[in-house]
């Protein structure tokens, strides 16, 4: 079997393993270290049943990039005071990764990222302005899993599921965690200047997968499948 087909097969196994358990199923968590992920990438995966996977550097604060828009928009749609204007800007910030829309929300709610970090216990997230804030893949995974568990009607999840094929700046949105079979929604992120850094965060049926790579989108997608493959093998061997 080719490496690509093997990764795909493992990803399918992970997608099945990460699905919400049947009623009465044993929810005993499985915790593993995904040591197949290169150090250039931080990787985290979580499930509603309590499974917890992460690379050794999953708690490392890195540039949040446009994943910070998840925090910013969550604050705006739940606590904002401008109603439909906030929702419209929030939708563009998530679906199109529109920086101008995010700037509009940030100007209205400059403490939004910090407020969401405090609310969800995101201890490796910091900063004021969304564009210079930092976070970890573990924190993003914690946030998205909370949405799946207690705020499933959040418009953020709907907008991630209906992401535009091309972002506001012309970047294609079709790589990284979005390639994992079974994914239902994704938010992508990338650096505009300086060193190349990309990230993606996705959710499926009862699980989330998040990664950040110091590198390009091809390297990022490759490393995502390294992490997903390691997790799928461990799940298979532990059942």
Q: Give the DSSP per-residue string, 141-171.
A: HHHHHHHHHH-TT-HHHHHHHT--SB-TTS-
Burial 23-48 (b: 16+ CB within 10 A, else e): eeeeeeebebebebbeeebbbbbbbb
Alpha-carbon gap, residue 234 to 117, rounded angstroms:
31
At residue 209, the 3 state secondary structure works out as: strand
Looking at the domain assignment, is residue 166 inside a domain? yes
Domain count across the chain: 1
- Spatial neighbors of 43 by CB under 8 A, at least 6 apart, are 34, 37, 53, 54, 55, 58, 137, 209, 210, 211, 223, 224, 227
Looking at the domain assignment, is residue 169 inside a domain? yes
Q: What is the pLDDT of residue 146?
A: 98
Looking at the domain assignment, is residue 24 inside a domain? no
Alpha-carbon gap, residue 91 to 140, rounded angstroms:
19
Looking at the domain assignment, is residue 8 inside a domain? yes
Give the DSSP H/E element, type plus range, for residue 72: helix 68-79
At residue 45, the 3 state secondary structure works out as: strand
Looking at the domain assignment, is residue 22 inside a domain? no
Looking at the domain assignment, is residue 84 inside a domain? yes
> Full-prediction pTM beyond 0.85?
yes
Looking at the domain assignment, is residue 23 inside a domain? no
Full residue range of the structural domain in which residue 119 is found? 3-17+29-238
* CATH number for the domain harbouring residue 116: 3.40.710.10
Per-residue pLDDT of the chain (239 residues; tens, 9 = 90+): 223 333 333 344 455 444 444 444 444 445 555 678 999 999 999 999 898 999 999 999 999 999 999 999 999 999 999 999 999 999 999 999 999 999 999 999 999 999 999 999 999 999 899 999 999 999 999 999 999 999 999 999 999 999 999 999 999 999 999 999 899 999 999 998 889 999 999 999 999 999 999 999 999 999 999 998 876 655 554 55
Q: What is the pLDDT of residue 33?
A: 55
Angle at 69 between CA 111 and CA 167, to 5 degrees: 150
Alpha-carbon gap, residue 60 to 134, rounded angstroms:
9
Looking at the domain assignment, is residue 94 inside a domain? yes
Q: What is the pLDDT of residue 232?
A: 63
- Return the closest-CA partner of residue 48 out of 186, 151, 133, 124: 151
Q: What is the pLDDT of residue 193?
A: 86
């Amino acid at each position: 079997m080719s490496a690509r087909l093997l990764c795909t097969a493992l990803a399918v196994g992970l997608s099945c393993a990460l699905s919400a358990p049947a009623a009465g199923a044993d929810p005993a968590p499985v915790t593993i270290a995904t040591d197949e992920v290169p150090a250039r990438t931080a990787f985290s995966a979580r499930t509603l049943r309590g499974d917890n996977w992460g690379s050794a550097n999953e708690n490392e604060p890195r540039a949040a990039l446009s994943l910070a828009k998840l925090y910013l928009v969550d604050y705006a749609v739940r606590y904002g005071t401008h109603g439909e204007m906030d929702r419209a800007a929030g939708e563009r910030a998530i679906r199109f990764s529109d920086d101008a829309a995010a700037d509009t929300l940030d100007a209205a709610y400059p403490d939004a990222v910090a407020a969401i970090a405090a609310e969800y216990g995101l201890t490796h997230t910091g900063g004021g302005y969304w564009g210079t804030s930092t976070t970890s893949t573990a924190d993003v995974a914690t946030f998205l899993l909370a949405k799946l568990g207690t705020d499933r009607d959040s418009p953020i999840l709907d907008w991630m599921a209906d992401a535009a094929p091309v972002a506001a700046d012309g970047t294609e949105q079709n790589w990284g965690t979005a390639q994992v079979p079974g994914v239902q929604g994704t938010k992508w992120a990338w650096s505009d200047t300086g060193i190349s850094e990309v990230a993606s965060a996705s959710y499926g049926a009862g699980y989330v997968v998040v990664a950040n790579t110091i590198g390009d989108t091809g390297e990022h997608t490759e490393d995502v499948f390294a992490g997903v493959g390691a997790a799928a093998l461990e799940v298979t061997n532990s059942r």
